[in-house]
Amino acid sequence: MPNISKKGVAMPLSPIRKLVPYAEKAKKEGVKVFHLNIGQPDIKTPKIALNAIKNSNLDVLKYSRSEGSETYRRKLSQYYRRNDIEIDADNIIITTGGSEALLFTFGSIMDLGDEVIIPEPFYANYNGFSIAQGVTVIPILSEIDSNFSLPSISNFEALITPKTKAILICNPGNPTGYLYSKDEIRELAILVKKHDLFLIADEVYREFTYDGLEHFSIMQQEGIESNAIIIDSVSKRYSMCGARIGCIVTRNKSVLNTALKFAQARLSPPTYGLIASEAALETPTNYFNEVINEYVKRRNILVEELNKIDGVIVAIPNGAFYCIAELPVSDTDDFAQWMLEKFRLNNQTIMVAPAAGFYSTKGLGKNQVRIAYVLNKEDLKTSVAILKAAITEYNSQC
């Protein structure tokens, strides 16, 4: 039998995937499982986007343009301008989700063995994309005590080698919920200019900022026109993860021309997703106001309730819809599985994402979990009550 590839062996399994069979077993036994583990919002997709699909009148479901239609990219550039990001349609390449935007970006700027520095904990699939591309992730630790703020620039500099090609941040962060400040972005800008690196920012949670804080994009930072590359997506913005539409935004023409070659090889992004995404740009502002209000309430309840549990430390999230919590247990992989397999409160349990999968450094994050507040407020309260009772019972058994 012919062998599979070394990188295929090295590709990580999703940190949640191994828990899925336990969750399914629990459900089969009639147990209600609250999913705090996923990034699939329960928020409704704007009607205007769904209606555009229902009213579409195609005879032939054709390829779209490899880089996305001129019309959509022009309207999208206007969306960015409304967000004080001054770019043109030509600065955008439409991709199949943020995932493909990252894939094309990595492919366009890095060869085998090149290095990308990423503050950890980070979105687990950055690992998968890196391995698939033969790129080495160099993690730099951000800490729960500072809500996972930007590590110091001197710590970054200590990690830069001749192989370093880029720094990748997620802002606001999955899994941390941290929103980088204008100052932090400026510091990063000086750093990448000094060392001639790319600065990649995954800004798919741009709209989800709380407490009056405003998102500051790397594209608003002057002086890094050749360095800055945004990864973006409609998935979270309009709660339409299934559209699979994202984009690369950059002022660097070499990157755009190169990414276009990758885009041409895969022909086109999904046509229906494009129709929905173009229509979604007309979503009324009050949609976002309502969504943000809802998330703030959820976050407040979550943080408040978690803080009531002895030994739990929560990083306060100012953005996105995740938080990292440190639990008084030694191995959250085991604990998460145990809750699904063994623990029930009124025939209910919860599924959380063990945080070790969000760290690249072995051994880190073992007492942390990522909690997505994508459930309604009542369910969130119940979920934290379950967590509290589970911690007590789990620790009493040891």
Q: Is 189 in the site for its own copies (CB under 8 A)?
A: no
Task: By CB under 8 A, name the one of 21, 24, 56, 289 that touches its own copies.
Answer: 56
Q: Segment near its own copies (CB under 8 A), from 28-36, 68-76, 259-267, 342-350?
A: 259-267
Chain centroid to CA 180: how far? 14
Class of residue 174 by CB neighbours under 10 A (exposed 0-12, middle 13-18, buried 19+): buried
Q: Is 268 in the site for its own copies (CB under 8 A)?
A: yes
The answer to whether the peptide bond before residue 354 is cis (omega within 30 degrees of 0) is: no
In single-letter form, the type of residue at position 57 comes to N
> How many residues bind to its own copies according to rule CB under 8 A?
80
Residue 42 token pair: 């329960």
Task: By CB under 8 A, name the one of 21, 27, 61, 194 that touches its own copies.
Answer: 61
Q: Is 97 in the site for its own copies (CB under 8 A)?
A: yes
> Which residues from 319-378 bind its own copies, rule CB under 8 A?
none
Residue 34 or 338: which CB sits closer to its own copies? 34
Min separation Cβ 11 and its own copies, Å:
4
Q: Segment near its own copies (CB under 8 A), from 49-57, 169-177, 378-386, 389-397?
A: 49-57
Q: Is 111 in the site for its own copies (CB under 8 A)?
A: yes
Q: Is 116 in the site for its own copies (CB under 8 A)?
A: no
The answer to whether the peptide bond before residue 121 is cis (omega within 30 degrees of 0) is: yes
Residue 184: C-alpha distances to residues 147, 155, 215 (Å): 14, 14, 12
> Which residues from 210-239 bind its own copies, rule CB under 8 A?
226-227, 239
Task: By CB under 8 A, name the one of 146, 152, 161, 264 that touches its own copies.
Answer: 264
Among candidate residues 288, 393, 279, 285, the one with its CA nearest the CA of residue 342: 393
Min separation Cβ 42 and its own copies, Å:
7
CB 283 within 8 A of CB 48: yes
Q: What are the helix (H) ranges across 36-178? A: 47-54, 70-82, 97-109, 125-133, 153-159
Residue 59 or 378: which CB sits closer to its own copies? 59
Report the alpha-carbon distance of residue 299 to residue 317 in Å, rounded: 8
Q: Is 190 in the site for its own copies (CB under 8 A)?
A: no
Give residues with Cβ within 8 angstroms of 292, minimum separation 6: 207, 208, 209, 210
Residue 225 or 334: which CB sits closer to its own copies? 225
Give residues with Cβ within 8 angstroms of 168, minimum separation 6: 116, 117, 118, 122, 126, 200, 201, 202
Task: By CB under 8 A, name the one of 84, 183, 196, 290 that touches its own copies.
Answer: 196
Among candidate residues 145, 42, 117, 139, the one with its CA nearest the CA of residue 368: 145
**Residue 323 forms beta bridges with which residues?**
371
Q: Is 158 in the site for its own copies (CB under 8 A)?
A: no
Residue with tokens 């995932």: 99
User: From start to end of the chain, where are the E strands?
Assistant: 32-35, 92-95, 115-120, 136-141, 164-170, 198-202, 228-233, 246-250, 313-314, 322-326, 348-351, 353-354, 368-372
Task: By CB under 8 A, name the one of 19, 23, 26, 41 that touches its own copies.
Answer: 41
Q: Is 54 in the site for its own copies (CB under 8 A)?
A: yes
Among candidate residues 363, 362, 369, the one with its CA nearest the CA of residue 315: 369
Task: By CB under 8 A, name the one of 26, 35, 45, 80 that touches its own copies.
Answer: 45
Site string for its own copies, 117-136 (x = CB under 8 A): --------x--xx--x-x--
Task: By CB under 8 A, name the one of 24, 63, 190, 284 that touches its own copies.
Answer: 63
Residue 345 or 370: which CB sits closer to its own copies? 370
Q: Is 162 in the site for its own copies (CB under 8 A)?
A: no
Residue 324 token pair: 């990292």
Min separation Cβ 238 and its own copies, Å:
8
Min separation Cβ 330 and its own copies, Å:
27
Task: By CB under 8 A, name the one of 73, 215, 244, 366 that touches its own copies.
Answer: 244
Q: Is 100 in the site for its own copies (CB under 8 A)?
A: yes
> Which residues from 269-288 bind its own copies, rule CB under 8 A?
269-273, 276
